């Protein structure tokens, strides 16, 4: 954990430059690898520390929090990297796991590219001429993630393909003019013509969205958000103490609200991680809890950002201020798929159960 903490500290120190240039320096990626984080999600027999295993979800939660508190863009990329490795470890073959571990040990980064344009990514052809047609959009790490898992349609089936892209594979980052998360390099990647064989296909049709792992895994991005929220609250404290404004009763109320929001979120996220790794057979309960965790995390993050911006005032909007950057990153990264549906599904699943609310 010390090495993660050290890396997170370096990432925080470098975040201003990464945001300004919309690029993460290669020396920081070298630091990332040296810290052990690149390999951590693999089982020990493949050179990792088993961070994807059920009993290590609590440790993964701490790591995601720390990295998210360092630089949320790196937190996003790390979450995608871990997600890809855990999908291969859960559904892939031993040979696919070993090949991926060897590539990551040699410097490759992974990601999960699921978002599609209107046409979608398809698997076409047959036998030796089976190939991809189409592209992925909103793909983080476009241009430096060389081992992505992409989802693709084969008829009505959805399959996962583990690709090996050349480092100079063309990408289109022209649309990534987002307010925050600038250095995630989230763009469009044309994939037409890439051959698909049994080495590339991971698992069977439907594995990608299999529950409780698909929706239940949402706790991971909540953990990265939480790291940024905790960092914001600490920066707020630093500001109040250094300006001698901490004794003001209105500011004290904001501090209390922020600490309560951050701590509440932490209880939820850590419990969601624990339940995800518990091996509980009740997929609906795990998904329902993760969906509620998304709702709590989003609400708390919005409350913290408002309180910190009001409590710090104009300096929190002037660059280069870490508060300004983290608020931009967090506001952007909070936008996750179908939040209304996540919330309403969670409400419905409790409504149709007879569980006491305290056991939900």
Ligand X SMILES: Cc1cc2nc3c(=O)[nH]c(=O)nc-3n(C[C@H](O)[C@H](O)[C@H](O)COP(=O)(O)OP(=O)(O)OC[C@H]3O[C@@H](n4cnc5c(N)ncnc54)[C@H](O)[C@@H]3O)c2cc1C
CA-based radius of gyration for the chain: 21
- 7-32 residues labelled b (16+ CB within 10 A) or e (exposed): bbebbbebbbebbeebbbeeebbebb
With CA atoms as reference, report the closest residue to 151 among 108, 179, 122: 122
With CA atoms as reference, report the closest residue to 360 among 278, 282, 243: 282
Q: Which is nearer to ligand X, 108 or 181 (CB)?
A: 181
Count of residues interacting with ligand X (CB under 6 A): 21
C-beta of 221: minimal distance to ligand X in Å? 9
With CA atoms as reference, report the closest residue to 138 among 184, 74, 72: 184
Q: Do the beta carbons of residue 45 and residue 14 sit within 8 Å?
A: no
CA 23 to chain centre: 18
Helix (H) / strand (E) element for 160: namely strand 157-162
C-beta of 76: minimal distance to ligand X in Å? 5
C-beta of 257: minimal distance to ligand X in Å? 24
End-to-end Cα spacing for the chain: 31
C-beta of 141: minimal distance to ligand X in Å? 7
C-beta of 171: minimal distance to ligand X in Å? 12
C-beta of 80: minimal distance to ligand X in Å? 5
Q: Which is nearer to ligand X, 75 or 311 (CB)?
A: 75
List the structure tokens of 308: 């910190």
Q: Which of 140, 183, 291, 349 is in the footprint of ligand X by CB under 6 A?
A: 140
Q: Which of 18, 37, 121, 139 is in the footprint of ligand X by CB under 6 A?
A: 139
Q: Which is nearer to ligand X, 63 or 218 (CB)?
A: 218
Residue 206: which residues within 8 A CB-CB, separation 6 or more?
A: 157, 158
- Which x/- pattern over 167-186 shows residues binding ligand X (rule: CB under 6 A)? --------------x--x-x
Q: Which is nearer to ligand X, 32 or 333 (CB)?
A: 333
Span 60-119, contacts to ligand X by CB under 6 A? 76, 80, 111-115
Span 278-297, contacts to ligand X by CB under 6 A? none
Q: Which is nearer to ligand X, 115 or 235 (CB)?
A: 115
Span 28-47, contacts to ligand X by CB under 6 A? none
C-beta of 228: minimal distance to ligand X in Å? 12
Q: Do the beta carbons of residue 207 and residue 160 sit within 8 Å?
A: yes
Q: Which is nearer to ligand X, 181 or 292 (CB)?
A: 181
Q: Do the beta carbons of residue 286 and residue 280 sit within 8 Å?
A: yes
Q: Which is nearer to ligand X, 6 or 343 (CB)?
A: 343
Q: Which is nearer to ligand X, 121 or 285 (CB)?
A: 121
Q: What angle do CA 315, 319, 320 make, to 5 degrees?
A: 105
C-beta of 109: minimal distance to ligand X in Å? 11
Q: Which is nearer to ligand X, 91 or 236 (CB)?
A: 91
Q: Do the beta carbons of residue 53 and residue 119 sit within 8 Å?
A: no
Q: Which is nearer to ligand X, 140 or 265 (CB)?
A: 140
C-beta of 335: minimal distance to ligand X in Å? 4
Span 309-348, contacts to ligand X by CB under 6 A? 332-333, 335-340
Cα–Cα distance, 343 to 2 (Å, whole number)? 36
* Residue 143, Ramachandran bin (φ over 0: left; ψ between -120 and 50: alpha; else beta): left
Contact segment (CB under 6 A) with ligand X among 61-69, 124-132, 133-141, 202-210 equals: 133-141
Question: How many other β-carbons are positioned within 10 Å of the β-carbon of residue 306?
Answer: 14
C-beta of 285: minimal distance to ligand X in Å? 22
Cα–Cα distance, 206 to 118 (Å, whole number)? 20
Residues that bind ligand X (CB under 6 A): 76, 80, 111-115, 138-140, 181, 184, 186, 332-333, 335-340
């Amino acid at each position: 954990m010390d090495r993660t903490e050290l890396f997170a500290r370096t990432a925080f120190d470098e975040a201003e430059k990464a945001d300004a240039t919309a690029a993460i320096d290669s020396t920081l990626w070298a630091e990332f690898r040296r810290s052990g984080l690149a390999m951590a999600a693999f089982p020990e027999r493949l050179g990792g520390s088993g961070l994807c295993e059920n009993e290590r979800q609590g440790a993964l939660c701490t790591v995601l929090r720390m990295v998210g508190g360092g630089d949320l863009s790196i937190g996003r990329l790390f979450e995608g990297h871990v997600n890809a490795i855990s999908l291969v470890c859960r559904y892939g073959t031993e040979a696919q796991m070993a090949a991926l571990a060897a590539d990551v040990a040699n410097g490759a980064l992974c990601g999960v590219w699921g978002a599609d344009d209107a046409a979608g990514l398809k698997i076409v052809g047959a036998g030796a001429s089976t190939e991809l047609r189409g592209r992925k959009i909103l793909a983080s790490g476009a241009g430096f993630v060389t081992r992505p898992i992409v989802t693709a349609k084969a008829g009505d089936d959805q399959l996962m393909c583990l690709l090996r892209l050349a480092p100079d594979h063309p990408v289109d980052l022209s649309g990534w003019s987002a307010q925050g998360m600038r250095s995630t390099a989230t763009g469009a990647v044309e994939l037409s013509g890439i051959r698909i064989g049994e080495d590339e296909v991971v698992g069977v049709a439907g594995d990608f969205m299999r529950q409780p792992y698909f929706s239940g895994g949402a706790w991971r991005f909540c953990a990265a958000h939480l790291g940024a929220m905790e960092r914001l609250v600490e920066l707020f404290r630093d500001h109040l103490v250094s300006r001698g404004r901490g004794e003001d009763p209105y500011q004290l109320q904001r501090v209390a609200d922020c600490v309560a929001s951050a701590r509440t979120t932490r209880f939820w996220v850590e419990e969601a991680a624990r339940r995800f790794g518990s091996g509980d057979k009740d997929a609906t309960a795990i998904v329902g809890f993760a969906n509620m965790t998304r709702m709590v995390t989003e609400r708390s993050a919005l409350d913290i950002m408002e309180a910190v911006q009001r409590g710090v005032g104009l300096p929190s909007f002037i660059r280069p201020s870490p508060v300004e950057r983290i608020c931009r990153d967090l506001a952007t990264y909070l936008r996750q798929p179908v939040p209304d549906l996540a919330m309403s599904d969670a409400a419905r699943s409790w409504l149709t159960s007879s569980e006491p609310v305290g056991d939900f």
